[in-house]
Chains A and B, each alone.
Chain A
Amino acid sequence: MSQRQVLQVFEQYQKARTQFVQMVAELATRPQNIETLQNAGVMSLLRPLLLDVVPTIQQTAALALGRLANYNDDLAEAVVKGDILPQLVYSLAEQNRFYKKAAAFVLRAVGKHSPQLAQAIVDCGALDTLVICLEDFDPGVKEAAAWALGYIARHNAELSQAVVDAGAVPLLVLCIQEPEIALKRIAASALSDISKHSPELAQTVVDAGAIAHLAQMILNPDSKLKRQVLSALSQIAKHSVDLAEMVVEAEIFPVVLTCLKDKDEYVKKNASTLIREIAKHTPELSQLIVNAGGVAAVIDCIGSCKGNIRLPGIMMLGYVAAHSENLAMAVIISKGVPQLSVCLSEEPEDHIKAAAAWALGQIGRHTPEHARAVAVTNTLPVLLSLYMSTESSEDLQVKSKKAIKSILQKCTYLPALEPFLYDAPPNILKHVVGQFSKVLFPWIFRYTSAESGQLSTTYSLSKVLFSYSNSQWSIYE
């Protein structure tokens, strides 16, 4: 046979291989095909194709493997068990950029399902190669590597620490400064996943100088990028006062308040999460937020969303009001209480109602003025009904009871207390009676004449009321 005919055989084989692997990659995009593919034993067929001579076949095989592993964790485990990872990691270091993208995609698809799989990826030494990929000049490769690292670091603190030890953080901070939006998104998301586990990891991220760049990117018009940036900043700020102060020093206020008006719901949610994480640490930080007008912006944001998006905003109001009575008064004059009572009444979910009840309790517990401001909006009957209703969850009942107690102990606004006299249970009634006696005793004293007989009866009546309420307290407490 001539040489040409011999070579034709080889060409046919190559064409067949290419077609097979491209079809498998295409089929793997549809979920209904994947079961069939798995039963047909596609893993064992794809594995040798990863070592193929032709680069295109290698790349397409890696792509197909990635799509399969992305689908569910059984397939990802099969990828791990089939010893494919070391080969991938080895060739990741040497091949061209398309192969690197595909291999990083496989690593990401495997690592996203569970901590054990991510640990398997770390154990075969993929982290160093991924970090080398982060230095590649092609932005697609960087994006794929950053994505894989982010998914690995998401699971727990040890994996995050492993990613940090591989030296990923400075490179991720460099990636954030790149001009491509997709790369920025993924790098911000990876930094957020790294810093969410512990204060030390967050400190590592801050030491690499991430905060300044993240703060600059808040102004970027792309919504998905803003989501990730705000999430990263809130994960950094949540751990300690120093980190929160560092985030604030990056001059995010009042720019972050514009994000509260964004069209995208998750941008609003992440922005209010960030403000909440900053406000919860100390009264000074809360004061800073109040001085910058943050409370009004958050209240407007609460008014414009529904459901879970509102929750961080509600909690932020609660945290601000909890620190001191001046801040609670600031929340009241920013018209926070009507908004919170609207949330309390109209939200269907119990955990959001519980948060609103807690926030109202924190606002109303300081002085009679505060309690009056809460009572005037007619929220106390709502809270009482939530406490008494059997459908409310345990958490909601506990929180509404605490809120009612703390508000009632300071409330001297009698029109709001009157409904309680009729339908409150005994343990709340004692507080109501106590408050009545506190308010009415000086009135009784003043308006009866100073004859000794009448005086003594009124005096003893009030004493009875007092002692009744106190004794009931002691019995029930």
Chain B
Amino acid sequence: MATLVRLQARSKFVAQQYYFRNSVVDIFRKKEYDAAVKIQSWFRGCQVRAYIRNLHRVATIIQKWWRSYSGRQEYQLIVKFASCAMKMNLYNAMAVRIQRRWRGYRIRKYCFNYFYLKEYLKAVSETNDAIREALEEFAEMKEREEKKADLEREEKKRDYQARKTHYLLSTKQIPGIYNSPFRKDPDPWELRLQKAKPLTYQRSKVKQKRCISLSSWLACTSARSFPRSEILPPIDRKQCQGPFRDITEVLEQRYKPLEPTLWVAEPISELKVAREEFRRQEWMRDVNDNMISKLYYHHLISSQSTENYIQKLDKLSKVTFIFPGRRVPLRI
């Protein structure tokens, strides 16, 4: 019974203790539960992570291998293309070199030669300079000639003037107007007058021959522009033949001395004429001559040339009998 009471006194305590121990355990239960959960979750996490790590490692290995493989493929392609491209570039470069040389050669030889053009242009400019110089010289020469001609004309005019006014020359008695005694030296005109020859009237008339050009003739308005005579021609004169030439020309023509050619100079009947001539001479002489002089004459003749001799002989043979006034030819 004591135990019972003790137990009953403790029962409440036990009940309390039982309750507190259970409730305390509840608290701890939660804590323990949470802890267990934490531990388990951590562990599980570690597990999974390890697993995933493994997976990653494996996937990396696979990918690594795969990527290296495909990269190598690509790399080979690239290398292939690059080598092709390099080769093509090389061929292109070679072709460009060849074409460049060929095109340059072709243009220079067949179409256009730059250096020749340059030379040509240089030659053209040199020719231009030469021509310019030559033309300058030519123009200068012309100028000089003109000046010279002007000076000469002036000189001629002054000379003519001096010749016309020759009478103004100073004499021993009277000093001329250009040689005034109050001057130191005579005027240059004085010297010119001394040098000039006096002008005669006749010569001046001949010098003023009018030049015959059409325009001057037509513009000339004086009534003398036609060749006129002092008196009018008579009304009943018949028309003169031919054109009116200068009278001096006409007289020259009319009274020109005969200048025959050699062929004309010798007459064709020269022989006959010579014989006649001789016969006449003979007849003239024979009036007074006697036989002896004839023989002498014959001797003289025979000493001349053979032809003459033959001629004369021929003539002589024809003359044997001489009757005054008549000749009887004797045939041999």
- A residues at B contact (CB < 8 Å): 7, 10-11, 14-15, 18, 22, 25-26, 29, 53-54, 56, 59-60, 63, 66-67, 96-98, 101, 105, 140, 143-144, 147, 180, 182, 254, 257-258, 260-261, 263, 290-297, 300, 326, 329-330, 333-334
Please measure, in the bound complex, the distance between the C-alpha atom of A22 and the C-alpha atom of B225, giving whole angstroms: 10
A-B Cβ contacts below 8 A, count: 97
Query: Which chain A residues lie closer than 8 Å to B125 at the CB level?
Result: 333-334
Check A330 against B121 for contact (C-beta < 8 Å).
Answer: yes
Complex formed: what's the CA distance from A7 to B221 in Å? 30
Closest to B233 in A: A54
Q: How far is the CB of B85 from chain A (nearest CB, A)?
A: 21
Instruction: Name 26 interchain pairs, CB-CB below 8 A, sorted by A.
Output: A11-B235, A15-B232, A26-B222, A59-B226, A66-B218, A67-B218, A96-B243, A97-B243, A101-B217, A140-B213, A143-B214, A147-B214, A180-B213, A260-B135, A263-B142, A290-B124, A293-B124, A293-B127, A293-B131, A294-B131, A295-B128, A297-B132, A300-B135, A329-B121, A333-B124, A333-B125
CA distance A66 to B217 in the complex (A): 13
Say whether B228 faces chain A, with CB atoms less than 8 Å apart.
Answer: yes
Across chains A and B, which 8 residue pairs bring their CB atoms closest together, nearest first? A293-B131, A296-B128, A293-B127, A261-B139, A96-B243, A26-B221, A22-B223, A143-B214
Query: How near does chain B come to A26, taking the closest CB pair, in angstroms?
Result: 5
* A98 B226 Cβ-Cβ under 8 A: yes
Q: Once bound together, how far apart are the Cα atoms of A26 and B219, in whole Å?
A: 9
CB nearest neighbor in A for B224: A22
- The verdict on A29 contacting B124 (CB below 8 Å), with A98-B226, A182-B213 known, is no
Q: Is the CB of A140 within 8 A of B217?
A: yes
Q: Which residues from A are CB-within-8-Å of B222?
A: 26
Minimum CB–CB distance for B217 against chain A, Å: 7
Which of B117, B121, B127, B214 has the most chain A CB within a 10 Å cutoff? B214
B43 at the interface (CB under 8 A from A): no
Instruction: State how many angstroms separate the Cβ of A169 from the closest Cβ of chain B.
Output: 21
B226 to A, closest residue via Cβ: A56
Which residue on B lies nearest to A141, using beta carbons?
B214
- Kindly identify which residue among B117, B215, B219, B243 contacts A29, using a CB–CB cutoff of 8 Å: B219
User: Would you call B102 an interface residue if the criterion is a C-beta within 8 Å of the partner chain's C-beta atoms?
Assistant: no
Evaluate whether A29 and B221 lie within 8 angstroms (CB atoms) in the complex, with A59-B226, A96-B244, A292-B127 already known.
Answer: yes
**Chain B: CB-nearest residue to A70:** B218
Q: How far is the CB of A16 from chain B (nearest CB, A)?
A: 11
B142 touches A11 (CB 8 A): no
In the assembly, what is the distance between CA of A236 and CA of B222, in Å? 41
Closest A residue to B125 by CB, please name it: A333
Q: Which of A11, A56, A140, A258 contacts B214 (CB 8 A)?
A: A140
Chain B residues within an 8 Å CB radius of A326: 117, 120-121
Nearest residue (CB) in B for A144 is: B214
Complex-state Cα separation, A261 to B213, whole angstroms: 29
**A25 / chain B contacts, CB cutoff of 8 Å:** 221
For B236, the chain A residues whose CB sits under 8 A away are 7
